[in-house]
Structure 1
């Protein structure tokens, strides 16, 4: 069973170890010093930024990170998504990673995404849907979204997370049942 809890500063060493894994670093392209992690994740933990940072647990063991937010809380990001498709008021987005390389490719990504979407439906009754942009080159990520029940609704250019990637993105969506 997948459960969720808020990320805390005590989780930063674990998060750093995940961000340093080659399969994560390739797509997240994140600095891994404790200072950088505090700088980038600390504001959400302190309520200074509207995103939520959650640790995913499988049978009590942490295995992944989920970021979720309302698209409207990040106007520049919303504008990029809205350039590709209609964005309903209150729509949310997620970003995710599986930290342990031994857990990659075992169907945990789709399970994690389905669990995250169910949590949004339960905890955010005003969220009409979830839209997730993903680099077209990140096949594992967009396949996990498809297996979790999200549909590809658009393709287009967005700013990549990693500067080595081109701007080609797919946009996935799931609406509240």
Structure 2
């Protein structure tokens, strides 16, 4: 389910101004609850941009223009995250997770989040051959986010309490999962 015109590239330090802008927008700040100072963005995104951290921070580009951010990681690289998930779901070897945002508020509610999720799943299967599944926790109150996951083909596998990203939210979360498809799919623009 690759998307024409939707491509990915790694975030670089040159993108940090754009990330600060997106993180400060109310529709993003509500769910990401992230500091937007230059120091905070450097602290939190710099290690991945420099290749010092095993996660990937990717910009979603629609016809070459940045429209969103996606973070992707192998869960085994973050044992504290696995420990938080383990009481709620089985976390198999090779499990990955994603987090995502659409930066432009004018693009919200138009299917871009779903397209980004579906496209990055194709990318994960192509670029990470050992990935067995993708597990995504989402705040139960974030209906747009969990509906985008469902529309992209992920299935809800559990409900439970987790530490919310934003303290104004309760601990209720839904957990979604996509398993590696049996037939490999090529991903345009990735060389895979």
- The bucket for the TM-score relative to the shorter chain is over 0.9
Residue aligning to 2:140: 136
Give the drift of 1:87.
1.1
SS at structure 2 position matched to 1:56: strand
1:27 maps onto 2:42 in alignment? no
Q: What is the rounded CA distance, in whole Å, between the counterparts of 2:22 and 2:113 in structure 1?
A: 15
Choose which of 49, 55, 80 in structure 2 pairs with 1:51. 55
Q: What is the rounded CA distance, in whole Å, between the counterparts of 2:32 and 2:90 in structure 1?
A: 26
SS at structure 1 position matched to 2:120: helix
Q: RMSD of the alignment, in Å? A: 0.6
SS at structure 1 position matched to 2:141: coil
Give the drift of 1:80.
1.2
Give the drift of 1:79.
1.2
Deviations 1:81-117 (A, max 9, x none): 1211111101000000000000110001110000010
Q: What is the rounded CA distance, in whole Å, between the counterparts of 2:119 and 2:86 in structure 1?
A: 25
Residue aligning to 2:79: 75
Deviations 1:33-70 (A, max 9, x none): 11110011101112221111000001111000000001
- 1:149-160 paired onto structure 2 within 5 Å: 149-160=153-164
SS at structure 2 position matched to 1:137: coil
- Could you state the TM-score of these two structures normalised by the residue count of structure 2? 0.91
Residue aligning to 2:93: 89
Give the drift of 1:16.
0.7
Structure 1 residue runs of 4 or more that deviate by more than 6 Å after TM superposition: none
Q: What is the rounded CA distance, in whole Å, between the counterparts of 2:30 and 2:13 in structure 1?
A: 24
Structure 2: which 5+ residue stretches go unaligned? 182-192
Structure 1: which 5+ residue stretches go unaligned? none
